Amino acid sequence: MKIITISGLSGSGKTKLAYELKEYIKYSEIISLDNYSYSEEYLNQKYNEVDFSSPLAFNKTLFNENITSLQQNSLVKIPQFDINTKVSKNIRFKKPKILLVEGMFAQIFSENFQTLDIYVNIDLDIALIRKIKRDIKERNRDIEFIINEHLNSTRKNSKLVIEQKEKCLFNIDNNKSDNNFNLENILNLINE
């Protein structure tokens, strides 16, 4: 199983890129790091705060166990997290030929595995604009919540996300307003 990670800031286009690549790469599947989020209750108890843009908000141990099991077996149970309800349930996941792992910390979380790493580069202000639009439309969040989250956590943790850029083999600039990727170039890079 070949593992491709897609890392970048919230709002950079990681998920969109993963789904576009899945359309073109036969026998590929996606695992989102969002599925490995701890519950708000757990984060409050352990850290006295809920910060979903921190690497501490994700269960790296379970992620590593799941990927290791997936490399050895054809079928494993993985968590499926609903970002709106904040509820996680287990689903059966079949081992693909190519696994696309997307999330802010995908490269960091996959460092124990042989991976091809993609970083989606974006200016922080453009990422924030996209995040505002997405969170209002898809997650029913209000602007005050989004701004507060950005000022208190997303911006603070963005340095950790951006540091992955240096470790990734491919850096893709996504500062265009249309959020469109040149998939032909990306697929050529993956196939090299």
Res 70: pLDDT: 94
Query: In 3D, which of 6, 160, 182, 14 has the Cα closest to residue 98?
Result: 6
Q: How far apart are the first and last CA of the chain?
A: 17
pLDDT, tens digit, for every residue of 45-83? 877 777 777 888 889 999 999 999 999 988 999 999 877
Beta pairing partners, 119 = 7, 171
Distances (CA, A) of 103 to 14, 142, 188: 7, 23, 22
**Cα maximum dimension of the chain:** 46
| Antiparallel, parallel or unpaired: β 2-8 and 115-121 | parallel
Answer for the pair 128, 117: CB distance below 8 angstroms, yes or no: no
156 contact partners, CB below 8 Å, separation of at least 6: 53
* Predicted confidence (pLDDT) at residue 146 exceeds the cutoff of 90: no
d(CA 71, CA 2): 9
How many angstroms separate the Cα of 93 from the Cα of each of 9, 66, 90, 111?
Answer: 26, 10, 9, 21
Q: What is the pLDDT of residue 175?
A: 76
pLDDT for position 85: 75
Question: Which pLDDT belongs to residue 65?
Answer: 95
pLDDT in tens, 93-136: 999 999 999 999 999 899 899 998 999 998 888 888 888 898 88
Please report the beta strands in 83-153, taking only residues with DSSP state E, as ranges in sequence order: 87-94, 98-102, 115-121
For 147-169, what is each residue's pLDDT tens digit?
A: 887 777 777 778 878 888 888 87
pLDDT for residue 192 = 67
* Domains and their CATH numbers in the chain: 2-178 (3.40.50.300)
Residue 179's pLDDT band (cuts 50, 70, 90)? low
**Amino acid, res. 128:** L
